[in-house]
Structure 1
Amino acid sequence: MIVILVCFLLFLALGVPLVFVLGASALLTLVITTDVPVTLVSQRVFAGLNSFTLMAIPFFIFAGVVMDAGGISRRIVAFSSALIGWVTGSLLHVACVTSAGLAAISGSGSADVAAVSSIMQPQLKSRGYNVDFSAAIIACAGSMAQIIPPSLTMVVIAIIGNMSIGALFLSGVVPGLLCIGLLIGVSYVYARKGGPQYRESKPFSLRELARSTYVALPAFGMPVVIVGGIIGGIFTPTEAAAVAGFYGVLISMFIYRELRLADLPQIVLRSASLSAAVMLIIGTATVFSWLVANANVPDMLAAWLRSVSSSPLVFLLFVNGLFLLIGMFMETIAAILIVAPVLLPIAASFGIDPIHFALVVVFNCAIGTVTPPYGICLLVAANVAERPPVRVWRKAGWPIAVMAVVLALITFLPEMSLWLPRAAGLIR
């Protein structure tokens, strides 16, 4: 165990890409500490990827790329603007509502942040909004793509823990929407004190709302297809993701007419590139996790935790602290693949519902995407806004505090996340 930990930290400190950190650490540990043939590494990598459910990931990524290329994002922005664009600080609220809408389609936080930022930032700058605070709000709202279904992160942890993907999807609905609502509240308070540029003179128009809703309805059909199909038992998660990608192509080509047949090869290539990066991490992390499990780490950690406290709540607080720390330095899916297999059996021994535990982990990872120094969502938002990341981080205090409040509610009130999947009959 010491060897693999030293190798992992050494390669990480040298700036080696994470996928090679995981693979090289596992390979060196096998060579140094065992007589096991090194060919086992490649066998384990392929075994880790040999899952029908994992095929959902490239299809979800494809659906997200189609969404961006086919004009779906702009329709959701127009709907959000008609819905809440008349309130003080309207552009900030529109960014939050748009992020929630895109989260229900793409499942990728960084992709949502990039899409919303590229559409909203020119308007925010022209109106004189504080660009740093706006970027922070967009980053935090966009990170909810990991919580609001469908979520790639939830698919990964559900596969690791052999959980119902549909139940995990539903568990994120209430916390995700609550966080979006609180971010809108923070934006409103900030806008009230921000000056005249945040005031709105445009009145609410029921006709405009009805028109934008009608135009956006085909786009909002995508999450209905995905989540409804999985929960209703019509599709497996993989089939639902494939249908979502096909649905996105249809509405982009034949309803919105912003996607051409000639665009599809480039979209497929981009989706394949993004999927390959995720799949390589999953494959190498499988080997890493197998070595950690063989070193009896879960049992040793469980024994240590029980010596500290037998309270499930103390364990969850430990998990929160651990993942908040890890999230500052590591990509979300890699963090889950490395740490979650160790902690899932321990959570079960404490009597914690696996769906509740998985949501706590994923929400911590969502916060990790907006906290320095890694904070990929915040870095994307700062980059699109053409602002130094440090300036944006300074304005992210209250938005991150709101996310921490929701995390505390999830941790202390399990029913907040479990009642919806329970009502749907997916868990007991």
Structure 2
Amino acid sequence: MLLVAIVFAIFLVIGMPVAFAIGISGMMFFLQHPELPISIPLQITVSTTQNFSLLAVPLFIVAGNLMNRSGITEGLLNLASVLTGRLRGGLAQISIVLSALMGGVSGSAIADAAMQSRMLGQQMIDRGMTKGFAAGVLSFSSLLTPIIPPGIGMILFGTIGSVSIGRLFAGGILPALLLGVAMSLSVWITATKRGYPPERSTRPTAKETITAFRGGIWAILFPVILLVGLRAGIFTPSEIGAVAVLYAVFIGFLIYKRMKVSDFIEALESSLGDVGSVMFLISLSAIFGYGIVFERLPELVASGLGTLTDNVQVVMVLIVLLTIVAGLFVDATVLIIMMTPIVLPVVTRLGGDPVHFGIIFVIAATLGNFTPPVGAAMYTVCSILNVSIKDYIKEGWPLLLAISIVTILLIFVPSIVLYIPNLIFG
């Protein structure tokens, strides 16, 4: 596997698309083992895409694109303004709350960062905030989006690692709230030092509050419906994806009445590209994954970490650090697909809970979207706001520090992650 890893790294450095880099380097393993039939990579590439559990991935992608065109975003923005408009930092605080509310809508950190940058970015700058500060908040706050159900990263982790997707969905709620509070506190401290004013100077009236909640209630109900349906056994994770699509169509056409047939068609067209890229990546990564299992890499990693410590929390810290470093060069989706078969058995062998580890692992993998040199969300925000990477890093580190503190807390206090899953699913 050393040669495979070297070839994969070389392909990434020269700029080859990640899916092809994974597939071609994975084929190197079979060239090293002529005793293995060459038909195996062809068979596993096809069979991987026929996994029934993976139906949830394209369905939730379609649902997210439909929800983004349903007109629900404006209602969520108004609700976020009512909830946090009087805090220091104004639009920066609203951005954090909006990311949490958008979790049930898009499930994509990159999509959320791009949308909010276009909606709030220039307004934040016009109110006196520096471009670097605005970019940092808009980028890092989108970390909340894939943690609130239904995050695609959790679906991939649960499918690959045979972990309950329902428990993963429930496990992301409290960590997302803690991360939101920590980032909001970081923004408040910076805003207070610099004198950034709140967005609202008066308390919202009862009528404004009721109207705001009415406008955003359909998005808030979405993750609730998912969890209730899974807990009651009404839907499987794959079936709940189909329900999500129907729900998005329902609110777009009949509740908000802003979705047109052309919007529906555009959502399906954009979903084709998203689904194709994700499924192509998953199918080719199966070739790479076969070599990992064949060479018993999880056992080797476990024995290697076992020589350092048998404390599961310390092992999680080491895995998180490794994941963050890898995330500097590899996309979050790729990390989850490639590393789950390696690191999950290590944690469970030491007595760690797979749901607890899954939430932490998804957070660590997603952080790569906000850090150079390949952070997709970072480049998206900086490009839209015309911000240099230097200014982004300079202004964004307090948010990264807040996220790191919460992540460490989650590692050493697993009950924070497991409380809601245990409460709902037993």
- The structural deviation recorded for 1:226 is 2.1
Q: Map residues 186-197 of structure 1 onto 2, 5 A cutoff.
A: 186-195=186-195, 197=197
> How many residue pairs are counted as aligned between the two chains?
426
The corresponding residue for 2:345 is 345
Query: In 1, Cα distance between the equivalents of 2:59 and 2:268?
Result: 10
- The structural deviation recorded for 1:319 is 0.6
Query: In 2, Cα distance between the equivalents of 1:6 and 1:87?
Result: 50
- The structural deviation recorded for 1:42 is 2.0
- The structural deviation recorded for 1:409 is 0.7
Contact map agreement 2:8 2:21 (CA 8 A) in 1: yes
The corresponding residue for 2:295 is 295
- The structural deviation recorded for 1:315 is 1.3
- The structural deviation recorded for 1:346 is 1.5
The corresponding residue for 1:232 is 232
Query: Mind listing any 5+ residue stretches in structure 1 that lack a counterpart?
Result: none
Query: In 2, Cα distance between the equivalents of 1:380 and 1:275?
Result: 20
- The structural deviation recorded for 1:200 is 4.4
- The structural deviation recorded for 1:365 is 1.2
The corresponding residue for 2:178 is 178
Contact map agreement 2:87 2:198 (CA 8 A) in 1: no
Query: In 1, Cα distance between the equivalents of 2:425 and 2:198?
Result: 45
SS of residue in 2 equivalent to 1:128: coil
Query: In 1, Cα distance between the equivalents of 2:195 and 2:53?
Result: 50
The corresponding residue for 1:107 is 107
- The structural deviation recorded for 1:224 is 2.3
Query: In 1, Cα distance between the equivalents of 2:252 and 2:21?
Result: 39
- The structural deviation recorded for 1:234 is 1.5
The corresponding residue for 1:65 is 65
The corresponding residue for 1:285 is 285
The corresponding residue for 2:323 is 323
In the alignment, is residue 125 of structure 1 matched against residue 163 of structure 2?
Answer: no
Contact map agreement 1:71 1:258 (CA 8 A) in 2: yes
The corresponding residue for 1:84 is 84
- The structural deviation recorded for 1:223 is 2.1
SS of residue in 2 equivalent to 1:104: coil
User: Any idea what the Cα deviations from partners look like across 1:191-248, whole Å, max 9, x if unmatched?
Assistant: 1122365574344322211111112223323222223222232111121121112111
User: Any idea what the Cα deviations from partners look like across 1:23-81, whole Å, max 9, x if unmatched?
Assistant: 00111221233243433222111122211111111111111111222211111001111
Query: In 2, Cα distance between the equivalents of 1:425 and 1:263?
Result: 37
Query: In 1, Cα distance between the equivalents of 2:218 and 2:302?
Result: 48
The corresponding residue for 2:53 is 53
Q: Partner letter of residue 154 of structure 1?
A: M
In the alignment, is residue 400 of structure 1 matched against residue 367 of structure 2?
Answer: no
- The structural deviation recorded for 1:281 is 1.0
- The structural deviation recorded for 1:88 is 2.4
The corresponding residue for 1:310 is 310
Q: Partner letter of residue 42 of structure 2?
A: S
- The structural deviation recorded for 1:284 is 1.0
- The structural deviation recorded for 1:22 is 0.7
Query: In 1, Cα distance between the equivalents of 2:196 and 2:322?
Result: 43
Q: Partner letter of residue 342 of structure 2?
A: V
- The structural deviation recorded for 1:97 is 0.6
Contact map agreement 1:117 1:385 (CA 8 A) in 2: yes
Query: In 2, Cα distance between the equivalents of 1:338 and 1:69?
Result: 32
The corresponding residue for 1:391 is 391
Query: In 1, Cα distance between the equivalents of 2:268 and 2:56?
Result: 15
Deviates more, 1:331-340 or 1:227-236: 227-236
SS of residue in 1 equivalent to 2:372: coil
User: TM-score under structure 2 normalisation?
Assistant: 0.96
Change (3 A) 1:204 1:88: farther
Query: In 1, Cα distance between the equivalents of 2:259 and 2:392?
Result: 34
The corresponding residue for 1:260 is 260
What is the alpha-carbon root mean square deviation over aligned residues?
Answer: 1.6
SS of residue in 1 equivalent to 2:271: helix
The corresponding residue for 2:214 is 214
- The structural deviation recorded for 1:356 is 1.3
Deviates more, 1:212-221 or 1:48-57: 212-221
Q: Partner letter of residue 321 of structure 1?
A: L
SS of residue in 1 equivalent to 2:128: coil
Q: Partner letter of residue 415 of structure 1?
A: S
Deviates more, 1:389-398 or 1:152-161: 389-398
SS of residue in 2 equivalent to 1:146: coil
Query: In 2, Cα distance between the equivalents of 1:231 and 1:274?
Result: 29
Query: In 2, Cα distance between the equivalents of 1:373 and 1:196?
Result: 30
- The structural deviation recorded for 1:257 is 1.8
The corresponding residue for 1:13 is 13
Q: Partner letter of residue 38 of structure 1?
A: I
In the alignment, is residue 164 of structure 1 matched against residue 164 of structure 2?
Answer: yes
Query: In 1, Cα distance between the equivalents of 2:323 and 2:45?
Result: 25
Query: In 2, Cα distance between the equivalents of 1:188 and 1:251?
Result: 35
User: Any idea what the Cα deviations from partners look like across 1:337-396, whole Å, max 9, x if unmatched?
Assistant: 111101122212111111112122111112222122122222222222222233212211
Q: Partner letter of residue 424 of structure 2?
A: A
Q: Map residues 408-427 of structure 1 onto 2, 5 A cutoff.
A: 408-426=408-426
Q: Map residues 263-278 of structure 1 onto 2, 5 A cutoff.
A: 263-278=263-278
Deviates more, 1:361-370 or 1:217-226: 217-226
User: Any idea what the Cα deviations from partners look like across 1:174-193, whole Å, max 9, x if unmatched?
Assistant: 11111111111111111112
Query: In 1, Cα distance between the equivalents of 2:197 and 2:303?
Result: 57
SS of residue in 1 equivalent to 2:425: coil
Query: In 1, Cα distance between the equivalents of 2:41 and 2:412?
Result: 40
Contact map agreement 1:150 1:227 (CA 8 A) in 2: no
Query: In 2, Cα distance between the equivalents of 1:308 and 1:93?
Result: 42
Query: In 2, Cα distance between the equivalents of 1:180 and 1:288?
Result: 36
Query: In 1, Cα distance between the equivalents of 2:191 and 2:206?
Result: 24
The corresponding residue for 1:248 is 248
Query: In 1, Cα distance between the equivalents of 2:202 and 2:127?
Result: 14
The corresponding residue for 1:361 is 361
